[in-house]
Structure 1
């Protein structure tokens, strides 16, 4: 967010928590992009603050978290001292979560796969409407094919990303018999190693599809420890996932930190993934 809007977002998160009786003496920015994550102290709450236009997305995330907590899924939990819902403050949607301090080293591949198995098992227990992953691919494709939304993307790179999204995704076909509810973006940044064990965060990306779509977000070694995974399908999904990531980074209004580096890195990762699955 731009500095002025970021200040207002911090104020909205602080005021929401304080207004609900939580003690807030300090707020530090944990993540700043299209929405903001704040650590509030000393109440140790994580406030997720999004523009009001993302109210429905925030409400969906809270509902997913509420249902997953009820089936003991390995996920970050909503703040238990307040009502589990989205609060509107100023022109922001604010949700309040338990803050988890990260502990220990990064997850070993076998541990990552084990928490995936538990998470996917919990997700299969939910009766929840969620978009299919192909809807997210289509949204990214619209972004990259619209020159006004991504004016700085070169013709050569636009063709690369567009062909990857359109060509590979169409190859997945219409057979959805093996689809289930997924996390949607379970990359290493969305898996916290905490005192409670590994927990998934950022649950608003929940969608439907094969488990390989989730596995393609994790380090490559993780899939080797996931029983029954289709490794060729993981490679194809990895190319599509990096193409989606790259499409968002080239939006003119993207606000991801260090966006310039990630634009280049995303394109390089797309090319590498295509070569890995024989489509370079």
Structure 2
């Protein structure tokens, strides 16, 4: 397996990320080879909150939880839901990138890392999905998700991740101004009753944005159901409405859409504060946190 090159630097963050990526790739390759797959040249496709690596020449992509697992100690539970829901959607004919059949899709654990395996779906390099594509395909996705027979938690990302993020705020008091801190905490308190009992709910993708719609073979397919949960439809629309304020008009009451937009902003700001434990003091990262806080209605 080719070594990943770690650039010379005095900043430990790139080095730590490269070390974590190298470890994730090695773990995925080891699991794949144990199941008889030939892996000659693993190619890292994405390295953000998890590592996605094509185990070439095998038609398999490994998704290894790296930074996300720092936020979610029970990460294998999340990955097991992801695998089960993806299998169900594929079985009912929904457009998804399916789990791998070359080896058990997982979750697997190796070297302290949890991972799943999906089918390699070569990307269409001339097609970039957008918010309009998500809006057009979302009703059918929700219809298919609603047929899932298993138990799914209510707004799992909000209820499980936000408290960890707010606890991290005490460790990083400098990340927000006093006014921004009050805005975040006040919104969390205001939204708590809605998050606990949001009214009409359906099964949500949970992390719906154009990056989780994959162009392959001349069509669009959904990916990454790790955050699948029950919740109000407006939660899946929130990020899309930041990109296009008219996205999903008529799908939910304006009040629900406004509450879900704030809830999504609180969620993302909280998660990114928690990740500061991992990434450290980073002006660009802190700028993202403050931007999400700014999205919260006053």
TM-score band (shorter)? 0.7 to 0.9
Aligned to 1:271: 294
Name structure 2 gaps, 5 residues minimum. Answer: 1-15
| SS at structure 2 position matched to 1:4 | helix
The reply on whether 1:218 has 2:240 as its aligned counterpart is: yes
1:138 CA displacement: 6.2
Contact 1:24–1:40 (Cα < 8 Å) also in 2:
yes
CA deviations on 1:86-124 (whole Å, 9 max, x unpaired) are 223232222111122332333355432221111100111
Assess, with a 3 A threshold, how the Cα gap between structure 1 residues 150 and 63 changes in structure 2: closer, same or farther: farther
Aligned to 1:200: 222
Structure 2: distance between partners of 1:175 and 1:245: 19
Question: Which deviates more from structure 2 when the two are superposed, residues 66-75 or residues 200-209?
Answer: 66-75
Q: 1:179 aligns with which of 201, 204, 229?
A: 201
The reply on whether 1:131 has 2:153 as its aligned counterpart is: yes
Aligned to 1:11: 26
1:78 CA displacement: 0.6
Assess, with a 3 A threshold, how the Cα gap between structure 1 residues 264 and 137 changes in structure 2: closer, same or farther: farther
Assess, with a 3 A threshold, how the Cα gap between structure 1 residues 259 and 17 changes in structure 2: closer, same or farther: farther
Name structure 1 gaps, 5 residues minimum. Answer: 275-279
The reply on whether 1:248 has 2:263 as its aligned counterpart is: no
When the two structures are aligned, how many residues end up with a matched partner?
273
Structure 1: distance between partners of 2:97 and 2:37: 19
Aligned to 1:156: 179
Contact 2:180–2:290 (Cα < 8 Å) also in 1:
yes
Structure 1: distance between partners of 2:239 and 2:35: 36
1:135 CA displacement: 6.4
Assess, with a 3 A threshold, how the Cα gap between structure 1 residues 217 and 109 changes in structure 2: closer, same or farther: closer
TM-score normalized by the length of structure 2: 0.79
Q: 1:236 aligns with which of 254, 259, 262?
A: 259
Structure 2: distance between partners of 1:76 and 1:9: 21
Assess, with a 3 A threshold, how the Cα gap between structure 1 residues 255 and 129 changes in structure 2: closer, same or farther: farther
TM-score normalized by the length of structure 1: 0.84
Question: Which deviates more from structure 2 when the two are superposed, residues 117-126 or residues 60-69?
Answer: 60-69
1:166 CA displacement: 2.2
Structure 2: distance between partners of 1:80 and 1:45: 9
Aligned to 2:5: none
Structure 2: distance between partners of 1:42 and 1:97: 14
Assess, with a 3 A threshold, how the Cα gap between structure 1 residues 9 and 264 changes in structure 2: closer, same or farther: same
Q: 2:118 aligns with which of 94, 97, 120?
A: 97
1:134 CA displacement: 6.7
Contact 2:60–2:102 (Cα < 8 Å) also in 1:
no
